[in-house]
Structures are given as C-alpha cells and as structure tokens.
Amino acid sequence: MKVLILGSNGLVGSSLVRNLSSNREFKIVSATRNEADLFSSTETKNLIEKVEPEIIINAAARVGGIVANNTNRTEFILENLKININLLESLIGHDDIKLINLGSSCIYPLGAEIPINEDSLMMGPLEPTNSPYAMAKLTAIEMGDAISKQYGNEIINLMPTNLYGPNDNFSETSSHVIPGLIRRLYEAKIQTSKTFSVWGTGKPKREFLHVDDLADAIGFLIENNHTPHLMNIGSGEEVTIQELVYKLKDIIGYKGEIVFDTSMPDGNPRKLLDSTKINSLGWKPKIALEEGLNNTVDWFIKNKSAN
C-alpha cells in the first residue's frame, strides 16, 4: 500500500514516517517542500500524479501556539487554506485515492460541553485567539465532505488533541505550550535565572498526546480499514498548565521560582476531547505524559543546536 505523507519534516509527518515505515504493508513516500510546494496547485497536482498513492496523509500545515496564532492571524488562515484547497482540488478525478486529513481540536466551539464530542462541530463561536487557524481547518472539512459526496473519494478527518514530542517546534515565540516551556525552562536553568514567567493563571486544563501515539492511531485505522468521516484522537487525561510547568521544571532541573503572569490571556479554560469513537474500535494511547515529557526533553537537549 503506497502512502504519501505530506509535511514529512514536521512534528507529525516525521513521526508518521518513523512509525509507519516499520510496517511492511506500507510503502512510504515522504514529501517536503523540496518535492512540492503545496502553495502551488500545479506542483501539488503533479506530485500526486507522479507518486500515484493509494493513501495521502496530510500533515502539512502552518501551526503555532497562542502567541503565533493571535499575532499572525492572516498567515494562519491564508496559508492553511491554500494547502487544503490545492490538495483537495487535486483529488478530483482520482477517486481511488483515500485522504487522511489532520485537523485540530481548536475547530470546536469555545463553550462546547466537556469532553468535546464530534457532534459539537459548528455548534458555537470559536476561541478568539486561534479562530483564523480553526476556520481554515473547518473549511478543509467542509471541502472534503463536498468532494467525497460529489466525486466519491474517501476522506477521513482526524482531530488530535494538543500534540508534543520529538522534532517539535521549540521556538520561544511560535511554539505550542510544551515545546515552548521546555526551551525557556532549559535556558532559564542554564542562565540560573531566579524567576520564570508563565502566561496566564496556570489554571486552564489541557489534554496532551504524544505524537507517536497519533501515528500509531493512524496506522491502526489504515490497517483495520476504518474510514470515519470525523474522529477525535486524544489521551483522555487532563493536566493544568500549572501542573505541567512544575512537571517540566522537575524534569529539566530548573531551581528558580515559577511566576504566573495573570495579566496575559489563558485561552480556552478547558479542552478535553471525547475519544470514545476510536477507543471503541480498540485503540488506546500507550505513552503516559511523564514518559512522553522525559522523551521530549531528552530529544530537545540532544538536538538543541538545531532549534
């Protein structure tokens, strides 16, 4: 089975290449911007026609944390829309190609009932700080649904919870919460800083999933020929930002004081996905948060010169 992985250099893409390549049933073709610029409809279409995959996994996206989402709102909606429009339009006339499209839990409404079920989609306003990114992902779901109904392609939309792991973006300004904290805490340790500031109150609760668990879930769905239209993938466990910071503080060995800057926004107060659908099929995550954080910190320290 030939599987084309788009965005294979990123957090999710690199994990998919690592994990799926070990399965002899899959012939993995990885694609980065060197192989095709997904902002170009011509290059996107040419790549698909050249590779002739049976399955495409779309892990290509412009992503970032709360700061990046809120300050680069235009880029987040335009760039993600371009990628999805070009990819989905290229599938027209190739109804034998299955697409696994990766979205984000931020597509769900701000006030959705916890845990968030797939039926909550489009049932309320989005969280304001990342609404442009969420809108691009929602548009991809709607476009995929239209193409599936009109042209017959199987299109699976997977909504993972907050991801982390090796090969993440550890930028201080554009990263998600875990890699951003890892980098800053490590630098604070090296600089022997007396205090370490964290945005917000520390009270919001978040669910995190190691990226290798997501790759495992995708492999599980492919191997068992499950084709859900929309499915959440989460760990089912919550942790407050405060608890997370102190866990990383201990792992990294930072000795200073943690200070929460309550003048800065918290974002969504709580976000936990209902992963009943995939759990009922027989899949469960394998990597506990403590193990995953240690694994990610180790990777960062070994590769910090590249981040």
110 in Cβ contact with 168 (< 8 Å): no
C-alpha to C-alpha distance for 170 and 68, rounded to whole angstroms: 13
C-alpha to C-alpha distance for 162 and 178, rounded to whole angstroms: 9
Active site residue 133: yes
Strands 205-210 and 238-240: antiparallel
Asked whether the CA dihedral 25, 275, 103, 101 is positive or negative, the reply is positive
Task: Say which of 108, 133, 164, 254 is annotated catalytic.
Answer: 133
CA-closest candidate to residue 111, choices 122, 121, 126, 129: 126
Supply the residues annotated as catalytic. Answer: 133
